[in-house]
A and B are shown apart, each in its own frame.
Chain A
């Protein structure tokens, strides 16, 4: 199975990705590896806009036919936007995990406490070693 790990994103060991947006917010989702491991996604629960997240906190749930998984927020901050399309089309996490399948956009807190994240090559290596 070939897995896509875009170079312009940062990653966590718990298989989330982080994208820095032009407006200063960060966009968060789950990786291609994660969606392939889960299989067909059928339910996604994302946090309310305005919720304060701490890095490492369980902030979303993604459920496939066979498994339920927590998604951990890679950053601390406030939820600015959530992808409400996913409640109708959870399969977007399978078909476009780095694009239309994004989960939330977060305004980071003033003093970041998280990281460091993995670079694409490091994450690809991590997935390979974890088998």
Chain B
């Protein structure tokens, strides 16, 4: 019976570890002509439990730093995710790090990436959330505007995290 218990968590642990490794490897994306962009990201999120069907919305606010070299970039952000289950609310405060890839020589740059977030929550001192995202950004001189959608995965749930960002290239 105990073996049966442990099966449920194994795949999540593996997914989390894969994301972490991918994020660490992304450090290799640094190049000599690196660009640093700081942006404010705001959006929403919706997580759905894959077994019990609970679907919970959230508000999302983050301050992001992106350091890119060529098409690759390292991304880090501190973040506040405020979930709103029925009749209550729960704030997750933490951050995420990740790697993104952009096709940078187009008028509107498409980009995609992965990230691993770690948050403090009442239910668990360390709550991991993995992200896989797509977006587009456009430059206006030093200003960068972007729209993105991340898929999210965490404890028995997957979700979506649409957001917009306004950044400044340092």
Q: Do A and B bind each other?
A: no
